[in-house]
Amino acid sequence: MRILILNGPNLNLVGQREPEIYGHDSLDQAAIRMAKQFADQTLSWQQSNHEGQLIDWLHKAEHDGFHGVIINPGGLSHTSMALADAIRSINLPVIEVHISNIHGREEIRQKTLTGGACRGVISGLGLAGYALAVTALVEEDQS
């Protein structure tokens, strides 16, 4: 199974930015661990600080042979109707992941526009949330 993992603005700084919230490991470190953990799957990680790039990747995902998408839109999850519409416009299962527990943070972060467009949302389990999302997509694909 081919899974596209998209990460939005500022997530390139995970491991450096606010480690008390996001932890000390980077997305690159998570990608290395998960490549070993899910050796039978193809995981393609992308990160952009630009909303339009994330939308373009979503639009191309099925054409590029992906079977599912995991997305951490970062701050865009709370503000971007365009990103939510892009998620709704594709014919692939999409799972949203948040490293921090958005429900325990500032009020504006507690609502996710993009999450409502997704199959499910995983929040607050650190980088392990990505692995849980892969497991969910693989199990769904096998049923």
The pLDDT mean for the chain works out to: 96
Out of 24, 50, 98, 103, pick the active-site residue: 98
What's the pLDDT band for 105 if we cut at 50, 70, 90? confident
Q: Is 22 a catalytic residue?
A: yes
Contact 5, 70 (CB under 8 A): yes
Q: Is 130 a catalytic residue?
A: no
Out of 22, 24, 50, 103, pick the active-site residue: 22
Q: Does residue 107 carry a pLDDT above 90? A: no
Q: Which residues contact 95 (CB under 8 A, 6 or more apart)?
A: 68, 69, 70, 71, 118, 119, 120, 121, 122, 133, 136, 137
- The first and second tokens of residue 44, run together, are 């393609």
Identify the structural domains of the chain with CATH numbers, from first to last.
2-142 (3.40.50.9100)
Count the Cβ atoms, other than its own, within 10 Å of residue 39. 9
H/E stretch holding 2 reads strand 2-7
